[in-house]
Amino acid sequence: MTLFTVNYTGDYLDDHGKLTVPDIALDLYAGKSFISQGFLTEQSPQPGDTGYWDRLYSLEVTPEQVARSEAIVIFRPWVRASAFANGAERLTVIGRAGAGIDKIDLAACTENDVAVFNAPDTLAHATASSAFLFVLALAKRLTEQERLVHRGHWDLQPRTMGIDLPGKMLGIVGLGASGRELARLMRPWGMEIIAFSPRADRQEATALGVTLVPSLDELLERSDFVSLHNRLDASTRGTIGMADFRRMKRSAYFINVARGEIVREPELVEALRDGLIAGAGLDVFEHEPIPPDHPLTKFENVILTPHWLPSTRDAARLTMVSVSNGILRAAHGLVPDNVVNRQVLDRPGFQAKLARFAANRSS
């Protein structure tokens, strides 16, 4: 038996050391005496630390944390090249609790013989249903109508008439797992659905009732609702800006459940201020968390959620089961599913690390 230590980033804990996410599938390690599980508590909030949430999204894995782990499960912190300043003699795998890997330096991981795996599809429904919720709420002007009641302004009913969805056009940017699930959810609502997704399979799109369009410009010009589901990488970072909002109909709504950094946020604010679009639903932001006085919080026609709308108990369990299963495979000397830096698999250093745990298969 060879001990395999897996550490979860400290942002899974509250300032009393209790789990903030109630079920992270630690039960899958029960009876596996070769697995030692812990938390990187240096990244956890401390009692009275009022500035923790301002730092949360800039937390990083450190060389000291790398040095004491065979595996690290990442919630929010970054894994930069600096994490490997002292090498990675022990660290074998990094599990990303979700699909996004934009905060992990994959090249540095590969160079240090560390495989990175994620849970690419476990949040697909939760993310798609969040976009679906935004579509419905924006169409019905739900939050604006709610405020009328809270403020006692029933006389303003005629100013907050919404729209129905049949006959309207939904434009999906990125027809990956969540984009396809959104198309499935919206299909019964009588909307025409188009998508811009250069790598999408045309036959699969047709089976979903989705028409692929050749350019983002065409999608923006035709859609009544534009929903972002594409991944964040060098080719998509900061690609949506003022020119794109000018192409949209003034009656159209913009939805982002992908990554905030895809959008040039000051230009979105300007577009909303100038009435270039009818409103927006945003679960993600360019810099998180946004402050309470951020310009986006001032618009009545914008719905904001704290990068948490898809984080349901069901989705969290699916994600963490996937991650725990990946950890179990590594602890048995096997390659986890969903490795994203697959070139590492052929490196002798990684193979030697993994081979150390083959003896655990008989435990």
**pLDDT 10s digits, 274-304:** 999 999 999 999 999 999 999 999 999 999 9
Rounded (10°) CA dihedral 156, 159, 164, 165: -120
Catalytic option among 180, 259, 264, 332: 259
Task: Assess whether 288 carries a catalytic annotation.
Answer: yes
Token representation of residue 151:
């403020």
Q: Is the confidence at residue 247, as pLDDT, over 90?
A: yes
pLDDT value, residue 48: 92
For residue 110, how many other CB atoms are within 10 A of its CB?
18
pTM over 0.85: yes
Please state, for a pLDDT cut of 90, what percent of the chain lies above it: 98
Grade residue 153 by pLDDT with cuts at 50, 70 and 90.
very high
Cβ atoms of 265 and 285 closer than 8 Å:
yes
The structural domains of the chain, ordered by start, are 4-121+312-362 (3.40.50.720), 124-304 (3.40.50.720)
Please state, for a pLDDT cut of 70, what percent of the chain lies above it: 100
Rounded mean pLDDT of the chain? 97
227 sits in which H/E element = strand 225-228
CA distance 200 to 306: 29
Grade residue 22 by pLDDT with cuts at 50, 70 and 90.
confident
Read off the pLDDT of each residue in 39-43 and give the average, rounded to a whole number: 97
Interacting residues of 192 by C-beta distance below 8 A, sequence separation 6+: 167, 168, 169, 170, 211
Q: Is the alpha carbon torsion for 266, 272, 278, 281 positive or negative?
A: positive
Catalytic option among 125, 141, 222, 307: 307
Residue 47, amino acid: P
Q: Is the confidence at residue 363, as pLDDT, over 80?
A: no
Over residues 187-245, the pLDDT tens digits come to 999 999 999 999 999 999 999 999 999 999 999 999 999 999 999 999 999 999 999 99
Catalytic option among 288, 317, 329, 356: 288
CA distance 22 to 25: 9
Name the DSSP class of 337.
T
Rounded (10°) CA dihedral 286, 287, 288, 289: -120
Task: Assess whether 259 carries a catalytic annotation.
Answer: yes
Token representation of residue 261:
């950094």
Nearest to 304 by CA among 247, 265, 252, 274: 265
Task: Assess whether 307 carries a catalytic annotation.
Answer: yes
Over residues 83-128, the pLDDT tens digits come to 999 999 999 999 999 999 999 999 999 999 999 999 999 999 999 9
Read off the pLDDT of each residue in 25-40 and give the average, rounded to a whole number: 97
CA distance 182 to 344: 34
